[in-house]
Amino acid sequence: MGLMESIRTHPVRPGEIGIWWLGQNGFIFKSPENTLLGIDLYLTDSCAGLTNAIDLRRRTPVLLPPESVALDVFACTHNHQDHTDPETIRGLKNKDTTLFTGPMPSCRVFRREGVEEGRIAPAWPDCEIEYRDLMIRGAFALPTDASDLNHMGFVVQFGRGPKIYITGDTAPHELLYSAAKFEPDLMISCINGGFNNLSAWQAAGLASHVKPKLAIGSHYDMFADNAGDPQMFRAGLAVQAPDVAFRELTHGEAFVYTR
């Protein structure tokens, strides 16, 4: 059984949310009603050719080829190529039935890669996007460089299930603490610390203000020149947010979170 079929058949009960990490900030989330949301799916090695100055070759395997992906909603937090990947979007097999959402620069990529206008829903901080049992709320993120000034985070909830706050790429700023108003159960944060992203210590500090029950690090595994150590995030949480539990995910393995 392939990974996509495994995701589709994996049981998720009421009050739970299924989570699969596919590397970097790429996740698939599944609801008890079998709604599938993908966020920041980077399923190619397209960044390898962007520059010779640093090593952006993919270090983790592609567990889910784009042509095998079948989602209800495809969301991007910003337009950096490891988050809004044209090659991944180009290869998706069900673009005619998927809702695509993200800030305007990502929406331009969706259009360029053949997504119909009626299937694109622009997103921004404080927006609300509904699809079946899924609610996506936009959250603040601070751009990390001038190449894209439209970063954002998401707060995801299926029905009345757990709320998940996903920071996306963000530089540190006190306005990130505003995500606390959503009362998320789980926080997924970048922790790589390079290129102005939150470090593991800064992400732990954010958790101390947002106060999720559980925190997961992301965006530290994909590139040799943009890596981090999730155990430093665990240690940072222990010091700054001792009431927040830590979880390290394994690529491609199901994690079912229960509030």
pLDDT digits (tens, 9 = 90+) for 27-86: 999 999 999 999 999 999 999 999 999 999 999 999 999 999 999 999 999 999 999 999
User: What residues make up the domain containing 55?
Assistant: 16-247
Q: What are phi and psi of 251, to 5 degrees?
A: -55, 130
Q: Could you count the other beta carbons within 10 Å of the beta carbon of residue 253?
A: 12
For residue 253, is it within any domain? no
In 3-state terms, what secondary structure has residue 208? helix
Check pLDDT > 80 for residue 221: yes
Check pLDDT > 90 for residue 1: no
* CATH code (residue 158): 3.60.15.10
For residue 2, is it within any domain? no
Check pLDDT > 80 for residue 198: yes
Q: Give residue-wise pLDDT tens across range 86-105.
A: 999 999 989 999 999 999 99
Contact 27, 38 (CB under 8 A): yes
For residue 24, is it within any domain? yes
For residue 6, is it within any domain? no
Q: Hey, what are 239's tokens?
A: 């010091």
For residue 230, is it within any domain? yes
Tell whether pTM > 0.75: yes
For residue 49, is it within any domain? yes
Contact 59, 15 (CB under 8 A): no
Q: Give residue-wise pLDDT tens across range 109-149.
A: 999 999 999 999 999 999 999 999 999 999 999 999 999 99
Query: What's the domain count of the chain?
Result: 1
- Residue 125's nearest CA partner among 173, 163, 196, 178 is 178
For residue 69, is it within any domain? yes
For residue 109, is it within any domain? yes
Give residue 66's pLDDT.
98
How close are the terminal C-alpha atoms of the chain, in Å?
29
225 pLDDT band (50/70/90 cuts)?
very high
